[in-house]
Every structure is written in C-alpha cells, then in structure tokens.
Amino acid sequence: MSLRYRVMRRVIAKTAASRDAFTVAQLRSFQGPPAPKPVDVAGARFRPESLAGLAVEIAEPESGDTIADVLYLHGGGCVAGTPSTQRRLVGSLAREAAVRVWSIDYRLAPEHPYPAGADDTVAAYQALLEHVDPARLVLSGESGGAVIALAALLRARDARLAMPAAVVLLCPWTDLTLSGESTVENAGKDMLTPAFIEMCRDAYVGSNEPSDPALSPLFADLSSLPPMLLQVGELDLIRDDSVRFAKAANDAGSVADLRVWPGMGHGFTGTGDDLPESRAGIAEVATWLRKQLGAGTRGS
C-alpha cells in the first residue's frame, strides 16, 4: 500500500465521524451539482453530448479507437455528483480499456427520488441500443450510481430488451436496508458512516420501502443477467453489499466475479491514475472488460 494512500486512510479515520452531520447541500458543495471544475486526464479526451434528453459527458481515448461503449452512472449516494465528478476514473478507464464512456447526468434525490434515476437510465440505455451493438455495450455504476444501474438493468431484462455484454459495479450499493455486517464491522474505518448512508438512503427511497427489490437489487430475482464484475474494498462500509450480491447472483445462475481489495476503502478507484491503488483497480477492470468482450483488436 502506498504511503499516500496510508496517509489518506488515517485522515479518513479521523474525520469519518464528521460525515454523520453532512447534509445534501454540504455534499454537493464539493461533488456538485453544480459541476466542479473539470480536470484533464492524460490520454483521454472529453466532450459534451446529449442522450434521451439527458446531458452526457463522453470520455474516450485520445486516439478515438474503442472496443465498446460504456453507459456509466457516477457515484454520490444518489443525491450528489455530476458526470464530470469522476473524470479521473472514467478518463483513466476510457484510456486503459479503449472504451467510450457515456456518463449521464441522471436526476438526483431528494428532489427526484426513485424511480427518477432509473427512468433516466433506462431511457439512455434504450437510446444507445438504437446505434450500439449490445455485444459491444457495457453498463457500469459506482456506489449509488451502481444501485440505479442495477435497477435499470433489471427493468430492461424484464422488458425483454437486449442485455449488455457486461456489467461493471464499483463499490456498489445493493441493500438499502443497510443490513450488511460490514456496516458495523467497518464503521470508523471508512469514508462512509452508517448515519451518512442512511441520509442518502432516505432521500433516494422517498415514500417507498427500502426492502423493495426494485430499490435493493440484492433481494431481486438475479437470474438471466450478463456477466458482472464487482470490485470493492475490504474496509468499505458497504463491502457486504458486493459480497452478498455476488453470491445471490451466482446462486441464481448468473455470473458475478467478485474482487475484494485488501486494505481499500469505499471508492478507492476514484482517484484514477493519481494513486497506484486506483491505477491497479482500473487496470483490473480494463483487463476484465477486454476478456469479456473478446477484444484482441480495437474497433471504432
């Protein structure tokens, strides 16, 4: 583990308790909206686009050569963040995996609780299907974005839409009842705290029940889903959302590849190519994607 990451972990451990008092407004003050100042990522380029009436930021390799398109949902607990919030992550992924990443500006809670974000994602997915071969289409989400991505995936399956070739879930939130043992075991070790994720959960759920499988995909029928990669840190407060989801998906006959990273906390790939840990995490995703897509050569 790098010195910089160890220092970050110590700072996080000291300040985690203060996150219990965070409000949505305070979270948005540094994650957006409004969008934070964008950063550049070596080897990647970014451009604005629109998809199904949604604002989108596209990240792609500077060469423009890609093997797949990725519909990506940023993190932020379903209440904060913008497409440009995770430029370091998506830009590095675009470069390393040779993919075009469509990061959509889905609607956020509490102004727009469930099912708004899932509605936006299904609409964007259907729009991409009109001009992207599903065999070269990937669905991905990080943290709160992952729970929305999964809600959309399950709806697409039930509507008999073509399934994506693969799904990538980074530190995914899958259980809005917050019943995982890691929410107790890792309390005080991670950037997340129980009170913080409860705040986000309550904003996103609105008048619905957290145990509803449409909101907590851990409890849904997980059969007939595409191959999935779940990547999570050992010290992530919601680590067990990945562990239990992977088991449930595999038990249902789907294929879920779980990777638990020792010593890592929530969102450890978020720094993109800025830290060795995040670089390694993104490289793992890129390698997995290339294998799933059978990408020996790059397409356009």
Q: ω before 113 within 30° of 0 (cis)?
A: no
143 catalytic residue (yes or no): yes
**In this structure, what is the dihedral angle of CA atoms 226, 270, 89, 128, given to the nearest 10 degrees?**
40
Helix (H, G, I), strand (E, B) or coil at 84: coil
- 167 Cα distance to chain centroid: 10
**The one catalytic residue among 103, 140, 143, 278:** 143
236 catalytic residue (yes or no): yes
Residues 6+ apart with CB under 8 A from 229: 166, 167, 168, 169, 256, 257, 259, 285, 288, 289
CA distances from 11 to 2, 20, 196, 278, 279 (A): 14, 16, 17, 18, 21
Query: Residues 291, 292, 297, CA angle at the centre, nearest 5°?
Result: 55
84 catalytic residue (yes or no): no
**The one catalytic residue among 175, 266, 273, 278:** 266
Please give the Cα distance from 233 to 155 (Å, whole number). Answer: 28
Burial 21-39 (b: 16+ CB within 10 A, else e): ebebeebbeebbeebbeee
**The one catalytic residue among 105, 120, 236, 240:** 236
In the sheet with 54-61, reading across from the earlier edge strand, the strands are 44-51, 54-61, 99-104, 68-73, 137-142, 166-170, 228-233, 256-261
Q: How do strand 99-104 and strand 256-261 relate by DSSP bridges?
A: unpaired
**Which residues are the active-site residues?**
143, 236, 266
